[in-house]
Amino acid sequence: MLALSPGILIIPIFSLVLVSILYIHFYKKVADTSNYKRMITTIALVGFALNLIWELAHGPLYQGFKYDFSHISLCTLASITDMLTLLLLFFVFSLVLRNVYWIEKLSFSNVLLLMLVGALSSTLVEIWHINREDWLYAESMPLIPIVKAGVSPVLQFTILPIIIFSLSKKLILKKRKLNQVKHLKTIEKMKQLKLTLGTVAIAFITLTAVSCKDAKTENTTHSETSADDDHSKMNHDGEDMEMAMNGDGDSQAVLNDYFNLKDALVADDNAKAKELGAILATSLGKLDISKYTDAQQSDLKDIVEDAVEHAEHIAESDIAHQREHFKILSKDVTDMVAITGTEMKIYEQFCPMYDNNKGGAWLSMNEEIRNPYFGDKMLKCGKVQREIN
């Protein structure tokens, strides 16, 4: 390998500028910036680590390479360039697919396209550097016929991006599940705190009632009226929840948690929706599909996997992003009900104005429209598309 020359820095500087521009572009568009930053950081760190291993491993295939400080430093700089190129590839695919979270669902066609783009781009880059004599191959380096580019560096960008994106996806989802567990523990602590405070409150009310016998009847009546009003406002589908438990236990549990989540979005309650998104993800994961046919089990497995992913996103997002995922989640739950069935009447409702007039559907146990996509802004916007059962 030759010493570092100014010409070698052209590609990394160009990549750094483009990556910075595209990073800012998507940062302004995503609803959940913390999740976005975590994903980019994971891809960058995994990309750097695996590329450094590859650079050090195939170093002897270049003329003059030695495992000394100067050559290891060059490999480190090369790995930083590889990382920037990888991020550029990621952002280009994000633009083309119009989805910055595309690695969470790597399709077979996207994998093939990634390999093709990686192979072509790395071949062109190798030809350019070899013609400039930025580095020279050792005799042990296998060459691609005709173009005479090294096989190892071309394979590096044909294979590694798939491995890096797949590994990053697993790490991101693992971190998300850990956060979900942590969130559920926090919820449990809050429930215990509420129980304690409730006990204290009951004791206080009891003592007050004993000392104020004359006001007891009036205060009790007023409290019951207020409680009924609050219950009516907070839970639109609450009156029908008891009916929900009469059907298939697992699927009905999923439906109950889904309706609770829907009501939180109707109420514009971001914190409550986060809590209920985590609960729904758990109930979806517990859905027993063994009682269905093989074909139905296969369909349910895909539906549940997708639904859990969107429920987990809801558990971590702001309310705008929650509603984006709720639209797809509603489609998954509707598909689930088509297989599992339900013994209660459900209404599929639709708002034509959501998502830039593309529209969004949801399920409800009440025929009256309460819009989860706009909440209080357009509470009654929508119509009943059909009745299920």
**Which pLDDT score, from 0 to 100, does residue 100 have?**
87
**Which pLDDT score, from 0 to 100, does residue 33 have?**
81
Are 156 and 264 in the same domain? no
Are 251 and 132 in the same domain? no
Are 262 and 154 in the same domain? no
Read off the pTM: 0.52
**Which pLDDT score, from 0 to 100, does residue 234 have?**
41
Averaged pLDDT in 10-residue chunks for the chain of 389 residues: 59 89 89 84 95 94 90 90 93 91 86 93 90 87 92 94 92 72 61 71 69 48 41 44 44 92 94 94 91 89 91 92 94 91 90 90 94 93 89
Residue 54's CB: how many other CB atoms inside 10 A? Answer: 21
DSSP state, 147?
A: T
Q: Which domain holds residue 135?
A: 6-179
Q: How far is CA 374 from CA 235, 256, 331, 353, in A?
A: 17, 21, 18, 9
Are 16 and 165 in the same domain? yes
Report helix, strand or coil for 203: helix
Are 168 and 294 in the same domain? no
Are 161 and 285 in the same domain? no
Are 162 and 255 in the same domain? no
Residue 46, judged by CB atoms within 10 A of its CB (0-12, 13-18, 19+), counts as buried
**Which pLDDT score, from 0 to 100, does residue 196 have?**
75
Are 139 and 18 in the same domain? yes
In a domain, 292, yes or no: yes
Are 160 and 268 in the same domain? no
**Do residues 340 and 328 make contact, with C-beta atoms less than 8 angstroms apart?**
no
Buried b (16+ CB within 10 A) or exposed e, 118-128: bbebbbebbee
**Which pLDDT score, from 0 to 100, does residue 142 have?**
94
Are 175 and 231 in the same domain? no
In a domain, 197, yes or no: no
**Which pLDDT score, from 0 to 100, does residue 35 have?**
81
In a domain, 21, yes or no: yes
Please name which of 87, 106, 99 lies closest in space to residue 43, comparing C-alpha atoms: 87
Are 163 and 284 in the same domain? no
**Which pLDDT score, from 0 to 100, does residue 175 have?**
73
**Which pLDDT score, from 0 to 100, does residue 225 have?**
41
Are 270 and 341 in the same domain? yes
For the chain, what is the domain count?
Answer: 2
